[in-house]
Chains A and B, each alone.
Chain A
């Protein structure tokens, strides 16, 4: 009986004991990062099978911060529905998955959004042959919509507000949405405008599709972690901020070595030459240097994955730095 009790005690301990996520990640030797099932520009395997995109870079930046090695990430795909249980259960250490920061997710679901890596808004895409120029002309249309998303709720609100009717065709993944839209099962596909650009870029003939001008919601997309583990939250938050601050300071992956001998104090603090900010986060002191060296600053990641020169052709817009007409802003590095 004593033995039995001790077995139970061990099992109970294993279930209830939660060491910090940062220690878990360090002990495991790699980061588990939840991403989409494939959304070009944000997280999708590239031609060589490597995960690439703005969100994939976010995961890699955290891996670099912890291990100094961009390859120490396991990407775990999640659907709109499975993403929250996956994070809550500890299956992944963080989500970087086009997830909109809302009060109910932040508070009620027990998560912590650590920042915004893409300011988005919900839009509509229709075949250009329909001749529709505004979303208010969509009365009676069949709309493909991903279930379990904020866009699903915005869609209902938008049509109710404008007093027009629609028929929702619920889908699970972006691929399903693509398939149904291209087959004409639905007239309209609605999701975040960035997702629409990504879907349009993947079409065999992108000119046959138009994204309507209306943006009907605020969709701040950002990485999130479990609520309550502030140390880990800080690591992810400042990995993102480091990339934004690097852009502000003009540090790129190319000139980062030269910047080590800069005379700007904030540059020296960020790169770990001065101060011990890395140690405060329980990381090595050159963590931010490594992120910039291996991943690049925010601008580099943006331009390589979703910017005007990529198939997605998304201008910086809101995602430009606050000094350049956008709203991208990171707290000071001091």
Chain B
């Protein structure tokens, strides 16, 4: 028997053989896909290459809060507008989902039966209904708002219609930069005070009201400066002219629908993660800290949350990644994100499907890896440091 197998009886040879075989098959498959694709592209006379990026787009994108976009701009600029819009809805969505998720996770554990049941219903509803339907639901509700000529007026300065939420746009006049500098300085000094206070407490046990002094620095000082400089800030109010409001700031229903759906959907998952994190901290910890006389809020802030975070952060990272990737569903309501603009309209107008999709995929990959990178750093910083 043994002699029949020959080399095969050697475990080392066998493992090398199979590994080479698998890698070889993989390479062969890859080669096969690439060569078939290029063969078919050539056969169908479909042009390939990257030069289309420099061609004028020819279409307009209306939702571009950070870059001015005209139809004479290139497809490359369509790409940048898309990336910025994707980042906008992802970042605001992640922040809102985190805040909402933490609050709901804690409320879910509350001893108040009604509150905890309400959160339970919310969680089960929003995480069990497909996200796409939720996006479309929010959008359908938003476009049923009054028409632009019958806009709801709120506090005399905000206008709500199915074209979006219009608000006054702040215009910074000369001198406002000093206020901004004051705010930045206030943040830096609050940070330094915090460090100094911690050191002093470690050494002497004395405490310093870090929170209230920071608030004072960040809000009160710039505010006083603002009035001393003669209020160097004015507002441009939106005005109904012709078909639409002119001037002011506008938040479009497409963005609001995406933002609401993404943050509410993801918050449901985050609240469960937070709940699991808090429950993972053993009951003894809470009892022990109560026994040494800590206040309820301190127990949460100093004992429970830091330990819970070790459980919370890794799955939280996946939720951030999910939210970012889910933002590609913006196409359902015409939100001008990366997939809709570059991966959709540019792709279709130029016909460069493979190139456009490759760029879009590489971009999502880079965004996701960047999020993972920073979340991993944060995760390491909150792990147990054994001394």
Residues of chain B within 8 A (CB-CB) of A208 are none
B344:A148 contact, CB within 8 angstroms: yes
Asked if B351 contacts A168 (CB within 8 A), the reply is no
Q: Within 8 Å CB of A12, what residues of B? A: 32, 36
B14 interface hit (Cβ, 8 Å): no
Residue interface mask A150-161, B partner, CB < 8 A = 1:
001101110110
A108 within 8 A of B: yes
Q: A153-B58, A160-B71, A180-B143 are in contact. Are A148 and B46 (CB under 8 A)?
A: no
| Contact status B71-A156, CB under 8 Å | yes
**Chain B: minimal CB distance from A227 (Å):** 5
Question: Considering the chains assembled together, what is the distance between the CA atoms of A168 and B2 in angstroms?
Answer: 75
Known A81-B348, A180-B143, A185-B253: A140·B44 in contact at CB below 8 Å: no
Instruction: Tell me if A228 and B348 are in contact (CB < 8 A).
Output: no
CB <8 Å contact, B147 and A170: no
Q: Is the CB of A183 within 8 A of B162?
A: yes
> Would you call A183 and B144 a contact (CB within 8 A)?
yes
**Residues of A contacting B351 in the complex (Cβ-Cβ under 8 angstroms):** 84, 104-105, 108-109
B45 to chain A, nearest CB (A): 4
**Other-chain contact of B243, A141, A157, A168, A169 (Cβ < 8 Å):** A141
Q: Quick one: which of A104, A156, A185 contacts B162, CB cutoff 8 A?
A: A185
Chain A residues lying within 8 Å of B36, measured Cβ to Cβ, are 12, 15-16
Among the 9-residue stretches B59-67, B167-175, B179-187, B226-234, the one with 4 or more Cβ atoms under 8 Å from chain A is B59-67
Say whether B143 contacts A185, CB under 8 Å.
Answer: yes
State the CA gap A136–B348 with chains docked (Å): 28
Contact B349 A110 (CB under 8 A): no
What is the size, in residues, of chain B's interface with A at 8 Å between Cβ atoms? 41
B6 within 8 A of A: no
- Of the listed residues B32, B44, B253, the one surrounded by the most CB atoms of chain A closer than 10 A to its CB is B44
Report the minimal beta-carbon distance from A39 to chain B, rounded to whole angstroms: 18
CA distance A226 to B46 in the complex (A): 11
Report yes or no: B162 in contact with A80, Cβ–Cβ below 8 A. no
**Would B44 and A226 count as touching, CB distance under 8 A?**
yes
Binary interface profile of A, 168-192, with partner B (CB < 8 Å = 1, else 0)? 1111100010011001110100000
Please tell me which one of the listed residues A15, A16, A85, A226 contacts residue B353 in the complex, with CB atoms under 8 A apart: A85
In the complex, the chain A residue whose C-beta lies closest to that of B71 is: A156
Which residues on A are within 8 Å of B, measured CB to CB? Answer: 8, 11-12, 15-16, 18, 80-81, 84-85, 88, 104-105, 107-110, 130, 138-142, 147-148, 152-153, 155-157, 159-160, 166-172, 176, 179-180, 183-185, 187, 226-228
